[in-house]
Structure 1
Amino acid sequence: MAYRALAYRSRAVHFLSLNIRGVGLMASFRRVTSHPSPLSFQFNGQNAPLGSLFSTMTSHGRGNLNMGEAEESYGFDPANEAQFVEEAQFVEEAQFAEESQFADEAQFVEEAQFAEEAQFADEAQFSEFGRDERQELAEPATHSKKSKKRKKKWKKSNSSSSRSSSSRGIDPNDTTVYPTTSELAHKILRKTWGFDEFRPRQEEAISRLIHGGSAVTVFPTGGGKSLVFQIPALAFDEYDESMGQKKGGVSIVVSPLLALVKDQVEALQKRDVKAAAIDSTQTRESVLNTYDLLRKGELKLLYCAPERLNNEGFVETMRHTRIRLIAVDEAHCISEWGQAFRPDYLKVARFVKEMKAERVLCLTATATPKVCEDILKGFGVPESGLFKTPSYRENLQLLAEPFDTIQDKLPKLVDFLNSNPGSSIVYVTTQKQTETVAQALSAAGVMAMHYHAGMDKDERGLAQDQFMSRNDLTIVATIAFGMGIDKPDIRNIIHYDFPRSLEGYSQEIGRAGRDGLPSKCMLYLCGEDWSQREVFCRLGLPSKKNVDDLLRSLFSSNEEAQAGDVIEASLYEQSKTHDIKENTLNLLYSQLELRFELLRAITPKYSKYRFVPSDAFASLIGTDEDPIAGIILEDMKKRSKSRGKIRSVDVDQLSQDHGIKREEIVLRIQSWSDQGLIESKPGGVVQRYRLRKPFPKDEADIQALIDKAYEQMEHREIDDLKRSKKVIKLITSPECIALGLAKHFGDEGSVGEKGCGKCQFCITGEPLVMSDPTTKRTPVDHNRLLAILNACSVRDDPRLLAKVAFGISSPRIMKGKYGGRNPIFGSMADCDFDELVEEFTKCCAPAEG
């Protein structure tokens, strides 16, 4: 069973969340039925066949629906998806991780430089802002005196920050000439931060924002981007008073980096700035306190992740709030031309328009002219609002060294670090590499530690704290390390493997020498590394047949669904069933939402809760007279045969079996967690989408959509390969490396025609030569091809066979045991991947006649 899709029709304008019922009878599919509640759903008797992977349920009209009682507390943090699955699934995931030396990094391929910041995937861990407020915004069917009183209270308390009637959103044709200086900005800079001067172009952008304009800033790493939105957020009230205008409102900061957000919020709060974040790390009490500050009009800066904008409750709250500014960090992610394209950023641009935000600020450290153009267009900012400073820094020396084999690199790394003391970061590709290289450095007498997203939180914190407090430590890390770290005296950045893109390279070397002192950036170039890089580039593209199967199942099984209906999907289950990686599935659903406008992502939910009880849990809970607690405990006892201390609760199943609203079960579990009685790990993430129009039914329309969707997926793979090859071209070209990098970002004037005078090329006058594996491939050997065909029974997917031969794992390869230690896995990695696909296609073609 890949996933379920449940649909109901809503004709209400502000449906925030509902209890959903569904049907389905499959061995691996749990029946979901309704329970006694005030909800009055009526079946239309036209459900999809039960044997399909999707089931549809429809309810016409609102009936006696009480939106207040239908309110649901959803929790969602996709970053923890690995923690959510049942015991058997954990084992299976562990096996999958062993299938390939690259599998442990698979989750990072799609997300570029945020890749390992797995925590950035953020959704409501608790109800959006408490039961009362959510009822008000939902416009419940029952209009009691109490609910009217609450509604009046919200409007009154929020009146100071209500949306300005004159706010019309961002004007892309704005020709206003804004002041380039601001005494108010200087005043706040001195009073709140203790600085006397702005960095280049900071004041121009800040002044434009204070006076009502929107902006895009492209400042290099360490260029002071955060002050560009923090100062205006504090200046708006005083500016409004000076102009005789109504003050109030909040500035929203959209950022995918939880660690960075946490640091910024804490730093602002220490400066007595009313700032807060809503993300998956917050407690229920913290979330409710944040909404209380928002309601009172006291909150100045509210941080959230891009995925938060899928949450209907959050969006509805913002509709009732005056939004002075939306600051969008890592804004280059909106561009399909960029190395870190994320469809959720297109949703951020949509959110800015829908909320009619008064201003928008887009921030990024790296952007080519084409990416800048996409940001301006996507967010509706006029070209006059672009503020850009050169990425070139004179104190950085860009070095490179070629190697014939991977084994040759380690001795050179030891020599380099011994010859260039100081805080250093060595970037590698996989988590396993961080550990092995760090161990080898330590054995050679170099003070080294490793860092990657798979480490325990406390271990990561220790490594980061040690790095920040010392000047003799080398951190061997994946690209997770360095984002948001404000350490000015990093002396060396070493790319042990060549980076994925020039954008990534620029950001990572930008972490060195922020104090202005000379620093070195070394890149090791080895032809053997290309095979690993190509695996990453090709990891996400599934076979067209699999995409075809998934979309046709979706459309046919929901052929009765109409606009307003809601479907649910477990991407984890879909991934296993259709052999499509979860990141790729997210991109595919984003196409359905943003390109084909068939659906819209809404608040996801958990289906299961796994937790570890504390020692005090049994004694304290044993005296709990709440019948819901008793039902949960009884269910735990039935499941206690599972190994270890881990307990699990299937919320949907309990809700169905006992006629209890699932939100009451969730809130009870969360209350235990808040009291420290359990360590809760909710899971079984279920994505939810509201249909904007019926799915296509005509065969020609369906096939055209599948063709277009897959074509875009193919282009993504091709673009990834091109971006990686541009790194090789930069280092091997007969040209100053710094100048070539500056040209890529459109600011070659910052280097000069003669070059930097100190990079690898400028010193030697000769370009580096990369070893043969990148340019020469072994012709396909039909004996090795036959060995794979004899060992692998698959004949319906030539691309899968090519992946086996090349050493690229997938759910189906893992399940069939064709990966990992199987000798056929990666046995033809020296061949051209496209040629392998072509040859296996011939082998899979049906015989003529």
Structure 2
Amino acid sequence: MHLSLQKHFGYKTFRPGQEQAINTLLAGRSVAAIFPTGSGKSLIYQLAALHLPKLTLVVSPLLALISDQLESMQQSGIPAARIDSTLDNVEMRKIRDEVKQGRVKILMISVERFKNETFRQFLSGVELSLMVIDEAHCISEWGHNFRPDYLKLPEYKRNFNIPQVLLLTATATPKVIGDMCKRFAIAEDDVVMTGFYRPNLHLSVLPVAEEAKMEKLAELLKPVSNDSTIVYVTLQRTAEEVASNLRQEGINAVAYHAGMNNVERESIQSAFMYGQIPVIVATIAFGMGIDKSDIRQVIHYDLPKSIESYSQEIGRAGRDGKLSYCTLLGNKDKVNVLENFVYGDSPERSEIKELLGRLAAAGSRWEIQILSLSNAVNIRQLPLKTLLVYLEMEGLIKPLYSFYASYKYKNVLDDEQILAKFPGERRAFLRAILDNSTKARIWTTVDFDAVMANYNTDRQRIIAALDYFDSKGFIQLEASQMSEVFEVLQPGFDVEQLSDLIYEKFASREKSEVQRIKDMIDFFEGERCLSVALSEYFGETSTWENCGHCSVCLSSSAKFESSLSLEPLSKAVVDSKLAVLKTEHGGRNLSPVTLTRFLCGIHTPLFTSIKASSISGYGAFENYRFEEVLKYC
């Protein structure tokens, strides 16, 4: 094993915990590895995979993580591949063939790939040694970044006869670790934890008024403006504003956020990696999978979402072991905004009931498109996906398959050239596709119903033909509008009773998320050493009282203030802000919760459809507590 470590990774010794986790896997047992960010979690499965007989399947929450890790493995001489939406049909088939031939040791996918019926059929014919779940805290409803699709991973492990699992995370509390291990039957002795304390990270919490933050940030950066630094903000527009202001101060800073296209983001990330841009002002979209060892500063311009997020984000500093600074500029001005994000993700009882009514009317099969269903029932897409998983866990529905409802293509060869390549019945079949499709100036949309009405065929054969033409370069094919089909296992369920059950699940989670924000504020304002308090939050028993170099140890605890001067609310004031919505946009029929979301500037599908952000009153009370505004709606 040490020879593999030297050959593929260039290291002579393991980091703490790595060898123990690998040995446990090679002994045939499952493992949960809880290591701090940047401590070498990925090496565990990469090295273990080289010594396991069959395929290692790595499940990751983000395409960006997959891409970065794959590049690193290929440079290390590890036969690895990925299957994701960026591949065309030819590339996809090539990788599947290489996996079946045993030429790939590690296959990386996103969790959503399991929804693809073709992939599930392929995987059922592959022998696997290990399933690796990156960011494994996402499986726990008590975790800070719960992803509903992760709940189904234990079932996939069983269905595909995968003997072992490796859970990887940097941010799991004892409660989350217990939840993760219970779902995969991992023994307590097979949980490998290394210390969360990193002595080279100097943590500081500075109370700064909102209007003074920009000046303070520039003051922190100017003496070290060439050092690699990440400045974290909450909103995309804040990233742009702060980066622009820093440039005016002579600091080479660039914004980075999810509103940019892939080319822009990759260009900025590459420039940062190679030191061409020293300062990135980013939303949390930046940093996942970043393997840059010499980040000297991580500055939180805005409050993070949770202690877990804070730990993950500061963990990107000082991976080379050298002194690095993690500074938070804190006040309470935006705490209500953070809480209000939580309220936006909790569907109302009436919205849940509307969805369940649609399910009850569907009969034995239920076909949906997430986007259109989200718009129809006014539930945002992420909580909608969570709701669907809850229904699965309650035994009401079972996913059968997913498919693209819409196919369109652009001719590379003209129709007659394509037809000339096929004789007899195949040409007649192809003619039926071409003649019953709707042609626009560039793209042709396939009308499946028309093709099947005029020729004795089925949807699968039409799609197979289109895929074949695309792989041969006859056409350029695009599929869209992913549809999911579920079997309804309990058609006669009680809509009212189930609505109450699901609503209570969301209400419990909402309460937990709001408490998480309160815990975070208490942590930053606490009187204990920040390093000790952070380690103990994640279940590490400290044998030392203080680090001696955090802001609490060197000075005193922080006390956050709010500089907001909020006018007292009243029924008359609230009604005045709702007047345009109610008189001109049908707002009289909206529930108190929906009206409160409007006033707090919380996005919903309904508000997108009526362009609520342009309506007078939208976001008028975004700095107020949701529950306070609700009293007057």
Same fold (TM over 0.5): yes
Summarize the Cα distance change of 1:517–1:378 in structure 2 as closer, same or farther, 3 Å threshold: same
Q: Is this contact kept in 2: 1:545–1:797, CA < 8 A? A: no
Separation in 2, partners of 1:312, 1:198 = 40
1:807 aligns with 2:601: yes
Q: Is this contact kept in 1: 2:351–2:377, CA < 8 A? A: yes
SS at match of 1:415: helix
Tell me which residue corresponds to 1:358. Answer: 163
Aligned AA for 2:220? F
Tell me which residue corresponds to 1:416. Answer: 220
Tell me which residue corresponds to 2:100. Answer: 295
Aligned AA for 1:574? L
SS at match of 1:607: strand
Tell me which residue corresponds to 2:423. Answer: none
Tell me which residue corresponds to 1:586. Answer: 385
Tell me which residue corresponds to 1:608. Answer: 406
Question: CA offset at residue 341 of structure 1?
Answer: 1.2
Tell me which residue corresponds to 1:599. Answer: 397
1:457 to 239, 256, 262: 262
Aligned AA for 2:607? I
Summarize the Cα distance change of 1:443–1:325 in structure 2 as closer, same or farther, 3 Å threshold: same
Sequence identity, in percent? Answer: 34
After superposition, give the CA deviation of every residue in 1:376-401 in whole Å (9 maximum; x if it has no partner): 11111100100001122111111222
Summarize the Cα distance change of 1:777–1:738 in structure 2 as closer, same or farther, 3 Å threshold: farther
1:687 aligns with 2:478: no
Tell me which residue corresponds to 2:424. Answer: none
Question: CA offset at residue 586 of structure 1?
Answer: 0.6
Aligned AA for 2:386? L
List aligned pairs for 1:175-574, cutoff 5 A. 185-236=1-52, 248-405=53-210, 407-421=211-225, 422-470=227-275, 473-558=278-363, 561=364, 566-574=365-373
Aligned AA for 1:739? V
Q: Is this contact kept in 1: 2:413–2:475, CA < 8 A? A: no
SS at match of 2:361: helix
Q: Is this contact kept in 1: 2:412–2:473, CA < 8 A? A: no
Question: CA offset at residue 665 of structure 1?
Answer: 4.2
Summarize the Cα distance change of 1:536–1:359 in structure 2 as closer, same or farther, 3 Å threshold: same
Aligned AA for 1:219? F
Aligned AA for 1:815? S
Aligned AA for 2:378? D
Question: CA offset at residue 354 of structure 1?
Answer: 3.0
Summarize the Cα distance change of 1:501–1:631 in structure 2 as closer, same or farther, 3 Å threshold: farther
Question: CA offset at residue 779 of structure 1?
Answer: 4.1
Tell me which residue corresponds to 2:422. Answer: none
Separation in 1, partners of 2:192, 2:483 = 41
Moved more, 187-196 or 380-389: 187-196
Summarize the Cα distance change of 1:624–1:512 in structure 2 as closer, same or farther, 3 Å threshold: same
1:786 aligns with 2:575: yes
Tell me which residue corresponds to 1:575. Answer: 374
Aligned AA for 2:406? K
Moved more, 373-382 or 619-628: 619-628
Summarize the Cα distance change of 1:705–1:286 in structure 2 as closer, same or farther, 3 Å threshold: same
After superposition, give the CA deviation of every residue in 1:741-761 in whole Å (9 maximum; x if it has no partner): 1121111416x21x2222222
Summarize the Cα distance change of 1:618–1:334 in structure 2 as closer, same or farther, 3 Å threshold: closer
Question: CA offset at residue 567 of structure 1?
Answer: 2.2
Tell me which residue corresponds to 1:764. Answer: 555
List aligned pairs for 1:91-106, cutoff 5 A. none
Q: Is this contact kept in 2: 1:780–1:831, CA < 8 A? A: no
Q: Is this contact kept in 1: 2:336–2:626, CA < 8 A? A: no
Summarize the Cα distance change of 1:656–1:402 in structure 2 as closer, same or farther, 3 Å threshold: farther
SS at match of 1:412: helix
Question: CA offset at residue 804 of structure 1?
Answer: 1.4
Question: CA offset at residue 502 of structure 1?
Answer: 0.8
Separation in 1, partners of 2:519, 2:412 = 60
Aligned AA for 2:104? L
Separation in 2, partners of 1:383, 1:780 = 52
* Structure 1: stretches of 5+ with no match in the other structure: 1-184, 237-247, 841-849
Structure with the bigger RCO (C-alpha within 8 Å, sep 6+) is: 1
The size of the alignment, in residue pairs, is: 619
Tell me which residue corresponds to 1:30. Answer: none
1:822 to 594, 598, 615: 615
SS at match of 2:192: strand
Separation in 1, partners of 2:155, 2:486 = 16
Question: CA offset at residue 675 of structure 1?
Answer: 6.1
Separation in 2, partners of 1:269, 1:452 = 28
Separation in 1, partners of 2:245, 2:444 = 41
List aligned pairs for 1:5-154, cutoff 5 A. none
Q: Is this contact kept in 2: 1:366–1:507, CA < 8 A? A: yes
Separation in 1, partners of 2:515, 2:175 = 16
Summarize the Cα distance change of 1:223–1:679 in structure 2 as closer, same or farther, 3 Å threshold: farther
Summarize the Cα distance change of 1:546–1:509 in structure 2 as closer, same or farther, 3 Å threshold: same
Q: Is this contact kept in 2: 1:788–1:824, CA < 8 A? A: yes
Separation in 2, partners of 1:301, 1:332 = 22
After superposition, give the CA deviation of every residue in 1:17-61 in whole Å (9 maximum; x if it has no partner): xxxxxxxxxxxxxxxxxxxxxxxxxxxxxxxxxxxxxxxxxxxxx
Summarize the Cα distance change of 1:784–1:366 in structure 2 as closer, same or farther, 3 Å threshold: same
SS at match of 1:486: coil
Question: CA offset at residue 282 of structure 1?
Answer: 1.9
Question: CA offset at residue 729 of structure 1?
Answer: 1.4
Summarize the Cα distance change of 1:358–1:518 in structure 2 as closer, same or farther, 3 Å threshold: same
Summarize the Cα distance change of 1:299–1:419 in structure 2 as closer, same or farther, 3 Å threshold: same
Q: Is this contact kept in 2: 1:607–1:652, CA < 8 A? A: no
Moved more, 200-209 or 723-732: 723-732
After superposition, give the CA deviation of every residue in 1:251-301 in whole Å (9 maximum; x if it has no partner): 211112222222333333344433222211222222222222333334322
Q: Is this contact kept in 2: 1:402–1:768, CA < 8 A? A: yes
Question: CA offset at residue 479 of structure 1?
Answer: 1.1
Q: Is this contact kept in 2: 1:447–1:474, CA < 8 A? A: yes
Tell me which residue corresponds to 1:836. Answer: 629
Aligned AA for 1:527? K
Separation in 2, partners of 1:492, 1:367 = 24
Question: CA offset at residue 627 of structure 1?
Answer: 5.9
Q: TM-score, normalised by structure 2?
A: 0.91
After superposition, give the CA deviation of every residue in 1:85-104 in whole Å (9 maximum; x if it has no partner): xxxxxxxxxxxxxxxxxxxx
Q: Is this contact kept in 2: 1:250–1:323, CA < 8 A? A: yes
Aligned AA for 1:571? I
Summarize the Cα distance change of 1:828–1:452 in structure 2 as closer, same or farther, 3 Å threshold: closer
Aligned AA for 1:328? I
Separation in 2, partners of 1:451, 1:602 = 39
Tell me which residue corresponds to 1:724. Answer: 517
Separation in 1, partners of 2:59, 2:102 = 19
Summarize the Cα distance change of 1:651–1:347 in structure 2 as closer, same or farther, 3 Å threshold: farther
Separation in 1, partners of 2:346, 2:446 = 33
Aligned AA for 1:186? H
Separation in 2, partners of 1:688, 1:637 = 26
After superposition, give the CA deviation of every residue in 1:417-449 in whole Å (9 maximum; x if it has no partner): 112330111111222222222222222211112
Backbone CA RMSD of aligned residues: 2.5
1:709 aligns with 2:502: yes
Aligned AA for 1:395? N
Tell me which residue corresponds to 1:243. Answer: none
Q: Is this contact kept in 1: 2:368–2:484, CA < 8 A? A: yes
Separation in 2, partners of 1:431, 1:656 = 47
Separation in 1, partners of 2:110, 2:594 = 35
Question: CA offset at residue 524 of structure 1?
Answer: 1.7
Summarize the Cα distance change of 1:500–1:231 in structure 2 as closer, same or farther, 3 Å threshold: same
